[in-house]
Structure 1
């Protein structure tokens, strides 16, 4: 795993909703490729720049300090759009962009003060004066953004698009000024620093020195004018908030959506929770809408034909309950679901985002919705098995539209591909099913050593490492092994392969108790399931019934070689796997998408 990925998994400092929104659709013009490159170099250039400025001050080399300031500052600005992991790490320890800028400014001022010339002190003081006003303008940009956000309306959002609706773009411009390194602030200060460096080397009383003082005054005024301009835009945005809200409601009402998909998830989970439903939702004939509660979901949300509305507050949710809406779909048991579920006018339906024997698949909160739509009979059986008694009429079987396009049967690969796709450690001890940090490294090492005929692909769960550092260490070690092995071995993230891309190509899957394993049943190819707790086979299958058609691997890799021999040989579990496929993924006559469409038509017409 790359250093950037390791840093990214540490998380980022909490930021306001308005900053997450700004980063979801950055309004600047810096090309993303340039921003990404600068993001990778940002931390290195920051540290080198500060060190160079420090040395330049002691060596009385103000021009060297100026050069280091420019390189470090410009890199910081260019990387803002990419939101690099290194910047997140700096944010996490309190070194936000304004602090980084102030550190550079202090060292730059020291270098000017250190010049052995009569005008150096005056030049340095004039630069410091500009810096004070620049910092004032910079620090107040987030304050103004927060002020605007508190009265902002719900906003239309176009996922994966550089062009946003007018009201959204208007707010983004204000919010972006408070996030990262501001280019206008940067331009004002670089002019002040160049002027101070020049003025420090000319005799006192010359026209150049006088011009420098005049320019410093003009720069002070420019910083204040820029701050005033942002304040005016913030004021007008607040003034027009009610009008923008009316326009949004009118626009959405004209679309006449009959259902709403409620997206409220853990930070940045839309990538693997919401996005898996978008193709099925887009294929519906009915018009719907997505209501997104957290701005952190927007950057990774996929493009969709259904309008997306960012609605952060409970009042936003209330105001977006349009008269044509009949149904609300939920993708997870989010903490904020109740802010919509309280409304009795809608039919509330839980879709979830996968089917597996994980304890979370049978959640007592299901009692609070009107219907639970499941892939197959296996999902319905989990509820009474967990002590949750709900009538059969509360369930609807729709299959798994997400896997309907997966090819069935042998892949025809020249070299068989074995996909190792472990789950994450879970949010509770009860749901810690992962094999990754228990046996994953040994598993991959043995596969590489004993099976040169295979190609090993590795796809860990995106949330791996949320609690256990050992998960990140295992990812790093496995990724390093596969990259060094080369010759078709692959860390799937390196090629940006989707889960379905991986399932399509894999001849055999090794996984854990996870919806990845149940989705793979659709291909009818062999599944090997890890048993990291070393449970007896009978107990394992009793607790996880869908694994009756899987070959099991113990925590010390016992059973691995036999399982591989059977999977690539006579495959005695093939009939059981076919039966389990129907039991888990449903046996819908016209396919899962048709079943999904039919049930959506039923519930939207019934109210």
Structure 2
């Protein structure tokens, strides 16, 4: 993959009505000055109007959307601005000179006609570059992929401002000097820019310059599927913030036997997925998705439910399994939708019992225990804290969709937990809230902000030596950014990204994993051991925080189940309103936990048990609960995962053979491609 230099973060100015008000006042002043006419006021009002337009396009596009909904989009505003300048010219020149401005007015009209032609051409170019398939890690050069046209040609607002600026400036100069040559020069420059832009787009519409059409692309897709012969796939559909649900399964998927494939439904999700060597296919349309039926793909793994899941379940040649994106005691972990899948794969006996008790239609014979292959990165318990500070990870979950007060501790208990931890001078707090915190209940978002303020205030009261900056973190960051670079140039579109990512890089995922580990080591080494941390974003990962922590405090969530792989002490906040004994009985993940009440009473005793193993009465219970939740240590989770895939693949093949005699034979062109094969890739006729 070519080196991409990440763009610096764009400054975002909070949307306020003041710029819009200034723009309206500027137009009113320009109209008044044009009718008077008043040259100084006209120049000042026009300049302010143009400056505000540029500001809005750069920093506050939301206001532009409001103008557009009021039918005052950028074209209307720009035409009005130039029209007022023409009115001023006519008023200043008098009736005997009106005819002398006719060529200028004609040139201005020609410019706006070209602007309309460019917009029409840009729409056509965008349509030709919107393929029915988006790929990554797949050689799609046969689709005639090419770099995208300049961003200026694809956005009408900035384009009109830039291309029309010479014309507007020329007209304004003529108003000030009465020299028509200045307006002619400005209009000539604008016309020249417009002609060049239109020519650039027109060339991209030539048959040999545009990407493959829909029919050609679908034929290529069929050929690629027949050549690659996928056996097992990961199917995912979701919003922009849900990519982590698929990312956690990428490495286990890559280690499976056979030829794995990732199937997505949303175009933006192609770039949201983390580094992987596995081929990625995005099939937005249902009709395109159905072409998988003619492929060798037999098993689809689903880490989440979505509205589009029902579409792929219609493909009869596939077997489907639900693996979820985490193990928790919440009702959402036993969604009735799970009965739509052929099998449900869970970590251990606890989830099997959970489905049996939930009675959501999932039969016990369809539940398969595979463990959690992702947890290999979690380091085991190595004893009590050895340093000066006890590192505590507070990782509450979000509020969920059902409004259950027991979902998250942030609202009722978060501040109390943090205050109790900060009160201990030997505690170092890592606060990592769920990324969706506050997305449903504003109270959770407000509590999250208050918790961050408490941590910042506590850090201001602490002091101590800071590690010397030897540049290691900067070097590791640059290396990791280089390897994981998916930040393309601003003008890149999906076709250009496909072109840049069309060549699979063997071992890239392994290199990313190694670079990530090195970055995390450098990150933690760069921080003083006494300083509390607010951990946000993708780096460092939750598992990295696990490995740096001596104690976890969380809610009833998959975080607890994953942390149990370490064998370290943990606590769960009870904000459900249930009595402690009922709370433990209701949620198996709490059986080996210290239960915290909303007031965080008992925090000193909890910290003491972490520091002194003799006071830790729950150590044996944690080991037993680990086996109950995550299954045995042998065989490994990855081995059990692979065994489950192999068994489901065989079931799919057997069903295909049973139904083959009752279906209409495929046409000869398809019959040659539909050879059966084993999971390891051995084809048979």
Give the TM-score, by structure 2 length.
Answer: 0.71
**Structure 2 residue 558 is the aligned partner of structure 1 residue 579:** no
> 1:195 is matched with which residue?
170
* Inter-partner Cα distance in structure 2 for 1:133 and 1:30: 38
* Inter-partner Cα distance in structure 2 for 1:168 and 1:439: 57
**Residue number among 153, 156, 167 corresponding to 2:135 in the alignment:** 156
* Inter-partner Cα distance in structure 2 for 1:308 and 1:99: 42
**Structure 2 residue 311 is the aligned partner of structure 1 residue 339:** yes
* Inter-partner Cα distance in structure 1 for 2:397 and 2:574: 12
**Residue number among 31, 41, 49 corresponding to 1:60 in the alignment:** 41
* Inter-partner Cα distance in structure 1 for 2:259 and 2:64: 41
**Given the superposition, is the C-alpha separation of residues 451 and 431 from structure 1 closer, same or farther in structure 2, using an over 3 Å criterion?**
closer
* Inter-partner Cα distance in structure 2 for 1:324 and 1:294: 23
* Inter-partner Cα distance in structure 1 for 2:167 and 2:374: 57
Shift of 1:347: 1.4
**Given the superposition, is the C-alpha separation of residues 542 and 397 from structure 1 closer, same or farther in structure 2, using an over 3 Å criterion?**
same
> 1:320 is matched with which residue?
292
Structure number with bigger Rg: 2
- Deviation string, structure 1 residues 63-115 (Cα, Å, up to 9, x no partner): 895588479648946x8xxxxxx65x55885769x977458737864895797
Shift of 1:221: 4.8
- Asked if structure 2 preserves the Cα contact closer than 8 Å seen for 1:127 and 1:192, the reply is no
**Given the superposition, is the C-alpha separation of residues 241 and 423 from structure 1 closer, same or farther in structure 2, using an over 3 Å criterion?**
same
**Residue number among 595, 598, 603 corresponding to 1:555 in the alignment:** 598
**Structure 2 residue 232 is the aligned partner of structure 1 residue 259:** yes
> 1:593 is matched with which residue?
638
**Given the superposition, is the C-alpha separation of residues 48 and 598 from structure 1 closer, same or farther in structure 2, using an over 3 Å criterion?**
same
- Asked if structure 1 preserves the Cα contact closer than 8 Å seen for 2:565 and 2:626, the reply is yes
**Residue number among 214, 223, 247 corresponding to 1:241 in the alignment:** 214
- Asked if structure 2 preserves the Cα contact closer than 8 Å seen for 1:157 and 1:165, the reply is no
Shift of 1:180: 5.4
- Asked if structure 2 preserves the Cα contact closer than 8 Å seen for 1:406 and 1:503, the reply is yes
**Given the superposition, is the C-alpha separation of residues 441 and 51 from structure 1 closer, same or farther in structure 2, using an over 3 Å criterion?**
farther
* Inter-partner Cα distance in structure 2 for 1:460 and 1:241: 44
**Given the superposition, is the C-alpha separation of residues 358 and 48 from structure 1 closer, same or farther in structure 2, using an over 3 Å criterion?**
same
Aligned Cα root-mean-square deviation (Å): 4.2
- Bigger drift between 43-52 and 279-288 goes to 43-52
**Structure 2 residue 414 is the aligned partner of structure 1 residue 447:** no
- Asked if structure 1 preserves the Cα contact closer than 8 Å seen for 2:397 and 2:407, the reply is yes
Shift of 1:263: 0.8
- Asked if structure 2 preserves the Cα contact closer than 8 Å seen for 1:358 and 1:431, the reply is no
**Given the superposition, is the C-alpha separation of residues 213 and 324 from structure 1 closer, same or farther in structure 2, using an over 3 Å criterion?**
closer
**Residue number among 539, 544, 567 corresponding to 2:582 in the alignment:** 539
- Deviation string, structure 1 residues 271-309 (Cα, Å, up to 9, x no partner): 310011111112224211111011242332112111111
Question: How many residues are treated as equivalent by the alignment?
Answer: 562
Shift of 1:579: 0.7
> 1:3 is matched with which residue?
none
* Inter-partner Cα distance in structure 2 for 1:264 and 1:31: 29
Question: Aligned to 2:438, what secondary structure does the other structure show?
Answer: coil
**Structure 2 residue 344 is the aligned partner of structure 1 residue 381:** no
1:412-561 paired onto structure 2 within 5 Å: 412=386, 414-429=388-403, 433-448=407-422, 450-486=423-459, 488-493=531-536, 496-561=539-604
Shift of 1:416: 1.8
Shift of 1:148: 5.0
> 2:116 is matched with which residue?
136
Q: What stretches of structure 2 of length at least 5 have no aligned partner?
A: 34-39, 460-529, 654-685
**Given the superposition, is the C-alpha separation of residues 166 and 189 from structure 1 closer, same or farther in structure 2, using an over 3 Å criterion?**
farther
**Structure 2 residue 223 is the aligned partner of structure 1 residue 250:** yes
Say which structure, 1 or 2, has more relative contact order (CA 8 Å, 6+ apart). Answer: 2
> 2:470 is matched with which residue?
none
* Inter-partner Cα distance in structure 1 for 2:188 and 2:419: 69
**Given the superposition, is the C-alpha separation of residues 141 and 333 from structure 1 closer, same or farther in structure 2, using an over 3 Å criterion?**
farther
1:10-89 paired onto structure 2 within 5 Å: 32-34=6-8, 36-37=9-10, 39-40=11-12, 47=19, 54=26, 60=41, 62=43, 66=47, 69=50, 73=54, 76=57, 87=61
**Given the superposition, is the C-alpha separation of residues 241 and 197 from structure 1 closer, same or farther in structure 2, using an over 3 Å criterion?**
same
Shift of 1:178: 8.5
Shift of 1:502: 1.5
- Asked if structure 2 preserves the Cα contact closer than 8 Å seen for 1:425 and 1:434, the reply is yes
- Asked if structure 2 preserves the Cα contact closer than 8 Å seen for 1:422 and 1:460, the reply is yes
> 1:303 is matched with which residue?
275
> 2:659 is matched with which residue?
none
**Given the superposition, is the C-alpha separation of residues 545 and 66 from structure 1 closer, same or farther in structure 2, using an over 3 Å criterion?**
same
* Inter-partner Cα distance in structure 2 for 1:168 and 1:360: 45
> 1:408 is matched with which residue?
380
- Asked if structure 2 preserves the Cα contact closer than 8 Å seen for 1:360 and 1:431, the reply is no
**Given the superposition, is the C-alpha separation of residues 70 and 543 from structure 1 closer, same or farther in structure 2, using an over 3 Å criterion?**
same
